[in-house]
Amino acid sequence: MNDIITPITADGRTGFDRFGQLVTWTLPDSGGYRTGYVLEDVREATCAICGQPWKNSSEDFQNQHVARGLLKPLVVHRTCYQGLEDMTERALWSRLLRDVFSFSARELPNQYWKSHPTHRGTPWFELSVQGISAEGRFQDVIPGRGSSLLIVAGRRKRVWELRLYGLGDLDDTFRDVEHTKGCALAHGEDEKHYYIHAWEEKELSDYLKRFAGAALERGYCRGV
């Protein structure tokens, strides 16, 4: 990364290089090397989420994220984007699950983006299934009926990942699905889980309902 020729912040860590690019340098927490990268010039811009401008400091200029996949990319505060992504993901799972399962939920650290500055804060969820909707009402899962029914779910880069525990191999249930799927044993686990990727929300909804249907067919609930 090029040196700053024209600084624009009081600490001199953000400014323009000899090519006219706005660059910034971050300082290591302890020892090591400094890191530099190119920024968008947001001095006269406002965040499209909160409507607030950027402050004239290196820390605030570095707090930016380019939201792509839109008609026009938008530069927003990274912290605002993280908050919006977090709320959107929580609302999605609440909407998809409430009519299929009754469950207790535990929040997990992001299982895919473990170091990404923007996405690492978006949680995954561990959902312990307590009941399954059948014929318009919830049937309780039978205590001690095999392994507990568990769903670990969250977003990867372009897909959602479902890790389904308690039913073993589900190839018959997802035979017609061409996306990534199969059985796996994660690090530190004693039991294999079935994993499957969904590219769209409607697929995610369909897969959750298939998992519920497979559990009902195998007699995991009372009165079924």
Q: For 78-123, how does the pLDDT look when each residue is reduced to its tens digit (9 = 90+)?
A: 999 999 988 998 899 888 888 898 888 888 988 888 877 777 778 8
Angstrom distance (rounded) from CA 153 to CA 136: 25
Provide the 3-class DSSP secondary structure of residue 38: strand
Q: For 126-173, how does the pLDDT look when each residue is reduced to its tens digit (9 = 90+)?
A: 998 988 988 778 888 887 664 578 999 999 988 999 999 988 889 999
Q: What is the pLDDT of residue 187?
A: 62
Q: What is the mean pLDDT of the chain?
A: 88
Angstrom distance (rounded) from CA 220 to CA 7: 65
Q: What is the pLDDT of residue 54?
A: 95
Q: Are strands 181-184 and 193-198 parallel, antiparallel or unpaired?
A: antiparallel
Q: What is the pLDDT of residue 200?
A: 93
Give residue 2's pLDDT band: very low, low, confident or very high (50, 70, 90).
confident
Q: Which residue has the higher pLDDT, 202 or 145?
A: 202
Angle between helices 78-97 and 201-217 (to 10 degrees): 40
pTM of the model: 0.76
**210, pLDDT greater than 50:** yes
Q: What is the pLDDT of residue 188?
A: 65
Angstrom distance (rounded) from CA 153 to CA 128: 11
Amino acid residing at 3: D
Give residue 224's pLDDT band: very low, low, confident or very high (50, 70, 90).
very low
Angstrom distance (rounded) from CA 163 to CA 126: 9
Q: Which residue has the higher pLDDT, 62 or 113?
A: 62
Q: What is the pLDDT of residue 50?
A: 94
Mean pLDDT of 22-42: 84
Q: How many residues does the chain have?
A: 224
**184, pLDDT greater than 90:** no
